[in-house]
C-alpha cells in the first residue's frame, strides 16, 4: 500500500500532505474524443444546433471544470491554475471531435486531474448539446498524454 499515496498506513483514504514540497511550474496535457454520426458532426461544425455553438460552450465548460476539479474529485487539492487551454478539433474522417487540454500551475502538486476533468466536461458538453440529433455518441480515449514538473519530472505517453 505504500505506493498508493492516497492510502495511509491503516489502509484509509486521506488527502496527501504536500505542505513541505516546493512549488514548481507544472504542466499536464490530456486528450479524448467524442464519436458521432456524420450528420451530427456536420450540424455541429455548421453551427446548426438548436442549443447554439457547442464547441465554444464546450471550451468554456472545460475551463470551468479544470477550475473546479477539487470539488469533484474528493482527495484532489484545490489549485491556483495559471493557464487552461481547451482545443476542440472536428475530425470528419473519424466521425469525431478531438479534445486536448493543457493545464498549468505553479504549485506543490500536479495538475493532471484538472486536465483530465476538463477533457471529460468538454466532451460531455458536446454530448449534451448534440444529443437531440444523436444519442449514440461515445466518449473514448480519455487519458493523460504529457506531464511535467515536480519530483517525478517529465512523462510522455508512448
Active site (catalytic) residues: 128
Cβ proximity of 105 and 26 under 8 Å:
yes
Cβ proximity of 14 and 7 under 8 Å:
yes
Burial of 78 (C-beta count, 10 Å sphere; 0-12/13-18/19+) = exposed
At residue 87, the 3 state secondary structure works out as: strand
Cβ burial 126-138 (10 Å sphere, 16+ → b, else e) = bbebbeebbeebe
Task: Give the residue carrying C-alpha cell 486528450.
Answer: 31
Amino acid at each position: 500500500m505504500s505506493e498508493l499515496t492516497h492510502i495511509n498506513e491503516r489502509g484509509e483514504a486521506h488527502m496527501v500532505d504536500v505542505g513541505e514540497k516546493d512549488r514548481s511550474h507544472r504542466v499536464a496535457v490530456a486528450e479524448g474524443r467524442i464519436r458521432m454520426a456524420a450528420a451530427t458532426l456536420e450540424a455541429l461544425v455548421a453551427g446548426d444546433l438548436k442549443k447554439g455553438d457547442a464547441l465554444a460552450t464546450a471550451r468554456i465548460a472545460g475551463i470551468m471544470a479544470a477550475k473546479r476539479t477539487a470539488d469533484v474529485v474528493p482527495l484532489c487539492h484545490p489549485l491556483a491554475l495559471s493557464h487552461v487551454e481547451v482545443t476542440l478539433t472536428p475530425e470528419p474522417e473519424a466521425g469525431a471531435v478531438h479534445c486536448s487540454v493543457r493545464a498549468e500551475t505553479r504549485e506543490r502538486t500536479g495538475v493532471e486531474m484538472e486536465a483530465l476533468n476538463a477533457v471529460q466536461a468538454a466532451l460531455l458538453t458536446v454530448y449534451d448539446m448534440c444529443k437531440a440529433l444523436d444519442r449514440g455518441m461515445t466518449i473514448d480515449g480519455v487519458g493523460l498524454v504529457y506531464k511535467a514538473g515536480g519530483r517525478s519530472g517529465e512523462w510522455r505517453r508512448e
